[in-house]
Amino acid sequence: MPLLVRPGPEHLPQYIAALKRGWSSSTTRDVSAGESAMIEADAQAFLGSMDDPDALAGDIEKPDGTMVKRLPGLKRFIWDGGFCGIVNLRWQEGTAALSPWCLMPGAWGLGHIGYSVVPWKQRRGYATRALAEILPEARKIGLAHVEISTDVGNIPSQKVIIANGGVFVREVTRTGALSNADGLLYRIDLAAR
């Protein structure tokens, strides 16, 4: 069964191999070339950016070129003795509300949590397990609930969210440089867990 691990130097070779196979840690755009370049330029800085609860890694460039303030966040590798994927958590200090730029048209990561499993390890329950394991981290930082979105047609992702207590909130429309897809927003109540 997979576990979540804090990314370290020992994990990077398999992460790089996944990027070279065409996998991207983002489910909405291909960031594999950029991440490969970051690792090659400064692997330690890349690893440091994976655990950034104080949002020290600097502003983020959106796909349309505008800059937004980075949110505190952390990323964990899904690991079963080898690299399986990634799960991330982001938040705003002192509130469960999402930053306004997470909710605007063109947002590429609507929600507190995102996850992606490499294609060659899908359909093994890894995403469901990873989401279950990241929820206690969200509770530790003080979130009462988390919101997660998925595309309307992404039935496997919807099943992952529902299996972890996700309740449908509303439909969302994502437009702009990144996507013109309809999505579904779910909420997981952490107080009840």
Could you report the per-residue pLDDT of 17-28, keeping only the tens digit for each? 999 999 988 777
Nearest to 55 by CA among 147, 141, 150: 141
Indicate the DSSP class of residue 95.
B
Q: Give pLDDT tens digits for 70-119.
A: 788 899 999 999 999 999 998 888 777 776 655 444 444 578 999 999 99
- Give the structural domain span for 160: 3-189
Contact between 96 and 167 under an 8 Å Cβ cutoff? The reply is: no
How many distinct structural domains can be found in the chain?
A: 1
Measured CA to CA, the distance from residue 181 to residue 28 in angstroms comes to 10
